[in-house]
Amino acid sequence: MLEPGAQQPGASPGATETAANGTAAEQAAEPGAARARAGYTPGKGKPTPKRSEAERRRRQPYAAPADRKAATQQARAKERAARARRMEAMRRGEEWALPRKDQGRVRRLARDYVDSRRSLSEYYIFGIVVLVVLLFLPALRQSLVVDYVLILMLAIIVVEGVYVGRKVVALAQQRYPGESTRGLRMYAAVRNTQFRRLRMPPPRVNRGDPV
């Protein structure tokens, strides 16, 4: 039996040293191979930052105003800018900027239908001016002319509102079946009484355009 470190009979010193080096290399490679087989992931070389630190780096620095008056002015300036941006988007007809009552393709169809036609109801404001003038005339103050004019105006508004409401609902049910038309008649009738230039959202179609 040979002692540790003793050479075998007939073996050269060079062969013994080569065998020893090969055994040492295999032993050094075994932990790396085992880690690769086990799904080992090498380190990044630097510690992973905490979530709070990463969020703090992403935040932009904010310099708070020195006094309350400056803070109030800054807040009001931001609100004015936000309102102006929303109003500009509403004029362009962007859906996100519209009030809830104006959102949806059914309401958009109702607006387009009303804006594409001419109506007498949108000029009712001029009829009111005429009524006020008639009331100041002593000769007509006690007559029935003012009552007749008022009844005629109301009749025109009601008849056109009913007609427009029915047409809009029928058109919406034809193009968008299954979608709710609740409140659509009143929505179309009210827009029909508004002066065209003052309608909001602004008209997207011209008079006479097909809808």
- pLDDT at position 147 is 84
Report the pLDDT averaged over residues 167-196: 95
Q: Can you read off the two tokens belonging to residue 119?
A: 């109506």
pLDDT at 66 over 80: no
Query: Running DSSP on this structure, what letter comes out for residue 1?
Result: -
For the cut 70, the answer to whether the pLDDT of residue 57 exceeds it is no
**DSSP character string of 22-88:** HHHHHHHHHHHHHHHHTT-----SSPPPPHHHHHHHHSPP----SSHHHHHHHHHHHHHHHHHHHHH
Q: Is the pLDDT of residue 160 over 90?
A: yes
Q: How far apart are alpha carbons 119 and 192 in whole angstroms?
A: 7
Residue type, 196: R
Q: What would the mean pLDDT of 148-167 be, rounded to a whole number?
A: 94
Q: Say what the pLDDT of residue 153 is.
A: 92
CA distances from 131 to 111, 136, 154, 161, 195 (A): 29, 9, 13, 21, 18
Q: CA–CA separation, 101 vs 91, rounded Å?
A: 16
Q: What are the counts of helices (DSSP H) followed by strands (DSSP E) for the chain?
A: 8, 0
Whole-number pLDDT of residue 65? 60
- Summarised one tens digit per residue, pLDDT across range 72-128 is 888 888 889 888 888 888 877 788 888 889 999 999 999 999 999 999 999 988 888
The predicted structure's pLDDT at residue 97: 87
Q: Report the C-alpha gap between 93 and 73 in whole angstroms.
A: 30
Instruction: Please check the confidence at residue 186 and state whether its pLDDT lies above 70.
Output: yes
Query: What is d(CA 90, CA 93) in angstroms, rounded to the nearest whole number?
Result: 5
**Residue range 147-168: mean pLDDT, rounded:** 93
Mean pLDDT calculated for residue range 61-76: 74
Q: Is the pLDDT of residue 181 over 90?
A: yes
pLDDT higher than threshold 70 for residue 9: no
Residue 136: is its pLDDT beyond 70? yes
Residue 10 is encoded by which pair of tokens? 């007939």
Confidence of residue 56 (pLDDT cuts 50, 70, 90): low
Phi-psi region of 59 (alpha: psi -120 to 50; beta: other; left: phi over 0): beta
* Beta strand extents in 153-211 (DSSP E only): none
Pick the residue with more confidence: 166 or 39? 166
For tokens 């009844």, the residue is: 151
Chain length of the chain: 211
- The residue that leads in pLDDT, 15 or 56, is 56
Q: Where is 155: in which H helix or E strand? A: helix 145-175
Q: Taking the C-alpha atoms of 55, 60, 63 and 68 in order, what is their torsion angle to the nearest 10 degrees?
A: -80
Reply yes or no on whether the pLDDT at 32 is more than 50: no
